[in-house]
Amino acid sequence: MTRTRRTVAAVAVITALAAGGAGAARQPWRSQGAGEGGELRNETSSTTTVRKTTLSSGLELTGKVSHGPTTEIVGQGRGTFTKLPRPGDRISAGSMLYELDAEPVVMFTGSRPFWRDITTGVNGPDVQQLERNLTDLGYADATNLTVDEEFTDNTAAAVKRWQKALGLKQTGKVELGRIIVLRDRVVRVEEITAKVGGTAVVGSDSTVLKVAKPDLFATVQLADDQIAQLMPGRRVTVRFDLGGESKGKVKEIARGSGGDDAGGGDGGGGSGSEVGKDQATATISLTDQKKAEAAVDQALPTVTVTVPDEKAEDALVVPVTALFARPEGGYCVQVARSGRQKPALVWVRIGLVVGGRAQVSPVSGRLRAGDEVVIPS
């Protein structure tokens, strides 16, 4: 097995252990079938020694504060850009994102963009999305509009009330391009691509502007063997270079961020892997948004993320690559016994996982410090 393949497999095992997903951690290069006597089928392999030691998860990572990933807004209407927002502006559902021909293009919330004019005779999920927004914004209520997939006279009346409030001609019809649908109720403008006086062309797929969530997040890049310590939901402490700190919680881990802007590990079991396009990045929500905003405003976005220390003393420790997930659930290791041709199968319970090493306790069978466990070649 190549070094790259072993690394990828180890990451899969670490991630599955942290998430509690036994089945997902099966080592793909080995058969999961059992041989005679409950032993796994033997293949070309090496062994490593089970050690009794103290396993500690203390970890500090350097990262930065930002507004997180951006969403590109693509215009669907046609005309001349007569007004655009400024970077840093916050825009909420029902408000204007920008102007075309001196008329507002408005932000609504939902799961899909509008793809056609919405008017009498039209039915579908886009109608329901429109009616839900009109109700949420106060242009209709349960007494005069049923939120469903049917465009009725009551829908048209609600649209006219909305058009009147915007200063538009009250047609009762929503033309394509009048509304931009986003998932968030409030967004922050990050970048403007269009120019006042420029022309919007239908079907050009040109980006008008980029927006992000208004909240600030801390992001840190992770070595592969650090992922298990920063799984979503993990609580951490974020210390600002500006001074002060905030409580944080890991929101998500994603790959493909690339670059080194998010920082990297400063120890705590890092593998020293190179920063690259496929490196994992953890996004951390922050409870103290004021301190985060101060850090960004003063151009001091660097932070130190501290993972609470967990410690297992006098623990039996093996590499995660020595663990096998059984189809029926649970984990085991293969122990090479003196005088036996085949390794013995020992069921284990997994404890703390740090830096590619796992704390194990035998559930069925004997496992001691000094034993040799099998690792695939």
Average pLDDT for 315-330: 90
Average pLDDT for 128-148: 96
pLDDT value at 5 more than 60: no
- Per-chain mean pLDDT for the chain: 84
pLDDT value at 236 more than 90: yes
Weakest-pLDDT range from 29-33, 107-111, 202-206: 29-33
Which residues of the chain are in CATH 2.40.30 domains?
59-67+216-307
Task: Specify the CATH number of the domain 3-57+311-376.
Answer: 2.40.420.20
- Contact (CB, 8 A) for 165 and 104: no
Q: What burial letters (b/e) apply to 86-101, b meaning 16+ CB within 10 Å?
A: eeebebebbeebbbbe
Is the domain covering 72-212 a CATH 1.10.101.10 domain?
Answer: yes
Which residues of the chain are in CATH 1.10.101.10 domains?
72-212
Q: pTM above the 0.85 mark?
A: no
Average pLDDT for 278-304: 92
Q: CA 337, CA 360: separation in Å to the nearest integer? A: 18
Is the domain covering 59-67+216-307 a CATH 3.30.1760 domain?
Answer: no
Q: Report the share of the chain in percent with pLDDT over 70.
A: 82
The per-residue DSSP string of 77-112 comes to S-EEEEE---TT-EEETTSEEEEETTEEEEEEE-SS
Weakest-pLDDT range from 116-130, 220-234, 239-253: 220-234
pLDDT digits (tens, 9 = 90+) for 47-60: 999 999 988 877 88
Average pLDDT for 2-13: 46
**pLDDT value of position 16:** 55
Q: Please provide the size of the chain in residues.
A: 377
Average pLDDT for 234-239: 94
The contacts of residue 164 (CB under 8 Å, 6+ apart) are 170
Q: CA 128, CA 118: separation in Å to the nearest integer? A: 11
How confident is residue 256, by pLDDT bands cut at 50, 70 and 90?
low
Q: CA 137, CA 145: separation in Å to the nearest integer? A: 13
- Contact (CB, 8 A) for 189 and 91: yes
